[in-house]
Each structure stands twice: as structure tokens, then as C-alpha cells.
Amino acid sequence: MDESSAAADSFENGRYKYIHDIHNGPPEAIDVHRIVLQRSSQKKLLIFCFLALLLFASPPFFFFVQQLNLLTTLPWSLLVGGLFVRLLSQKLVKKESVIILPAFGVQLETQYGSGRTIRRFVPISKILKPVLNECVTPVTCYWSLALIIRGEEELMLVFKELYPPVKMLVPIWKAICAAIDVEET
């Protein structure tokens, strides 16, 4: 897309960073809201896991295979560690975005650490209303944004993996409400 994009808003809050872009171009302005998990915590977590695995994967090899020396066991532990880190990066979320295409629908994206992206598209006619829910669990209470879909019993969560604070959810909620209102009129 080569249209001009204006960074309308962006702010940070601890672990999450909220970025709001508006792409002005044919046919209409497209609203993009992104929530990025801060890199520092992710990287630290990865490094920590790698080191922990290195530390703990090596001794069992020494116990079981006593004839082998360090030179042969080290590549094995590195391999196992590397596999583990790759698996983890596939599960770790890098960022989640909400792209509002007016008169079309809403696209929800989840991008993982390994680059894998999962996209879900919801046509605008299927969305009844976006709602901000307070979810109560046995240990905590947090806000979540969900869409009420016509014809379905369950709510569709906009952010499946991340738990962004309510300050970041409110502009997205307002934007989706506005898009639906425009569609209805």
C-alpha cells in the first residue's frame, strides 16, 4: 500500500504499546489499531528460557551417557534448546492488530514471534455491537473487547492472546462502533 499513513495516536503502558494509524487512500480511510507486546520482556524471556534449558538439559546427558564427554553432549543440548526456543517463539505473541475497513468489515490479526500470522475477517453486516466486558476469574478481573456476532451464541474476542489495558481498548471500541453506525445509516 503506497497511500500516506498518518500516525494518529500511540502511547505505551508498561508491557503494551498501542499504535493507531490511518491509511488515507482509495477507496476510503482504513483504520489500523495495533497492540505490540514490548520487545524487552519478550527477549528477556527467550534468553532466560534458552539459558535455563542449557543449564538443565546438560546434566541428564552426563548421568545417562557416561562415556561421552562434553564435546559430544553440548551440540545435543544446544539442539534441544534451539528446538524449544523455536516452539516457544511460535506460541509467543508479538503483536495483535485490528484493521477496520469501513463498509467492508473488520480484520483481526495475531502475529507470533516466529513471524506466523493468523488473520480473521468479520464482515461488517455480521457485527451487531462491540462490547467491553469485565471478565472475572478466580484470581483477577480484567477488561476484554468482544464482538457480538449476529446469529451466533458466543462472543468473538478481538484480542485472543493479549490482555491490553482498558485505556487501549476504548479507542478501538469507539472506532468499531463508529464504523457500524456509518454502515447502518
Partner 1 sequence: MKSHYEKSFDQHRTKKCPVYLLDQYGYVPIANKRIVTKSVIWPVENRFITADPQLYPTSTVWIVFSNEIVLSWLRANGVFLHEPKIASFFFGLKIPDIMSENGKHRILMVSDFFFPNFGGVENHIYYLSQCLIELGHKVVVMTHAYNNRSGVRYMTGGLKVYYVPWKPFLMQNTLPTFYGTLPIIRTILIREKISVVHGHQAFSTLCHEALMHARTMGYKVVFTDHSLYGFADVGSIHMNKVLQFTLADVTQAICVSHTSKENTVLRSGLPPEKVYVIPNAVDTAMFKPAPERLSNNEIVIVVISRLVYRKGADLLVEVIPEVCRLHPNVRFVIGGDGPKRVRLEEMREKHSLQDRVDMLGAVPHANVRSVLITGHIFLNSSLTEAFCIAILEAASCGLLTVSTCVGGVPEVLPDDMIVLAEPDPSDMVQAITKAINILPQIDPQTMHLRMKKLYSWHDVARRTETVYDRALRCSSQPLLERLSRYLTCGAWAGKLFCLVMLIDCMLWQFLQLWQPDRDVEVVPDATLTSFRPEEMSWDSETLR
Binding site for partner 1 (CB under 8 A): 14, 133-141, 143, 165-167, 170-171, 173-174, 177-178
Minimum CB separation from partner 1 for residue 22, in Å?
A: 16
Q: Position 142: which residue type?
A: Y
Nearer of residues 14 and 115 to partner 1, judged by Cβ: 14
Minimum CB separation from partner 1 for residue 56, in Å?
A: 24
- The alpha carbon torsion through 160, 165, 167, 168 (nearest 10 deg) reads -40
Nearer of residues 105 and 171 to partner 1, judged by Cβ: 171
CB 75 within 8 A of CB 134: no
Nearer of residues 14 and 27 to partner 1, judged by Cβ: 14
Minimum CB separation from partner 1 for residue 70, in Å?
A: 38
Q: What Rg value do the Cα atoms of the chain yield, rounded?
A: 22
C-alpha grid cell, residue 126: 455480521
Minimum CB separation from partner 1 for residue 141, in Å?
A: 5
C-alpha grid cell, residue 37: 507486546
Determine the Cα–Cα distance for residues 63 and 70; give it in Å rounded to an integer. Answer: 12
Q: At what angle do helices 39-64 and 70-91 cross, to 10 degrees?
A: 140
Nearer of residues 51 and 132 to partner 1, judged by Cβ: 132
